[in-house]
Amino acid sequence: MTGRFSRRRALVTGASRGIGAAIAERLAAEGADVAITARTLDHHDRLAGSLRETQARLERYGTNVGVVVADLTDETERAQIVPRAVEALGGPIEILVNNAAAAIYQPLADFPLRRRRVLFEANVHAPLDLAQAVLPAMRDAGEGWIVNLSSGSARLWAGPPFDLGVTGSTITVYGASKAALDRLTNGLAAELYGTGIRVNAIEPRAAVMSEGAEALVGSSLRADQIETMEEMVEGVVALCDCPPHVTGRIAVSLDLIDEWRLTVHNLDASRRA
């Protein structure tokens, strides 16, 4: 274990499973005190993993772990996440990882407004609200790291004809929310440039087979369409420790690994065999 994030306090959303749980573990493995949040404490009715299980994984590293149960789509509940995380960790949040996302896929022709609102609450409004909540302390400290998890679905399809991929046009509203998140990331970085606060987004180049992705598209992907959880996490944690001039980027995991010549580690921060 390295001490790269020793004495740092981090908040990771959507940390009950998948990429969020993996990011939280890697940060803890490198010395960070980590607050984790998700909608429920115990098991999801369909997917493996829970906040309680992530907490147990993190506690093995001997750092402080805070658990905040909150629904990010509820503005009242999400307003309590940062204050409760600060209380649990004993100080202000220095690293915010907005990983949580709602993913609802269906054709646009009958995509109901209430579902569109859920997507934008979770994927756009919540990340910005949490960023706004951590900014005052980051400004006072003269540094901070905000990393938003984006998606290649934010990009437009070229055409016609259109190559829509596995999910087809059903991913459009989700992609639109991620495009909005990318724009907010870039805009907030520009607004804060010179304060020492870095704001970046990162997306996988290929599918990361989290529990949710496995359930959705796992059997339909080729090996070359998949990247490992460790590769995705390596890119994320690099942006949790980047210098002040690295801000406003919409990075791609494997591209960033190549550009910065990063060594991909296991989630416990050990070198991969």
Q: Which residues are catalytically annotated? A: 174
**Contacts for 92 with CB less than 8 Å, ≥ 6 apart:** 9, 86, 134, 137, 138, 140, 141
The side-by-side arrangement of strands in the sheet containing 250-252 is 65-69, 33-38, 9-13, 95-98, 144-149, 197-203, 250-252
**Exposure string for 178-198, b = 16+ CB within 10 A, e = fewer:** bbbbbebbbebbeebeebbbb
Assess whether the previous peptide bond of 127 is cis (omega < 30° from 0). Answer: no
Tell me which residue of 79, 47, 246, 219 sits closest to 146, measured CA to CA: 246
**Contacts for 89 with CB less than 8 Å, ≥ 6 apart:** 9, 33, 34, 35, 64, 66
Q: In whole angstroms, what is the distance from residue 273 CA to residue 253 CA?
A: 20
Q: In whole angstroms, what is the distance from residue 79 CA to residue 236 CA?
A: 24
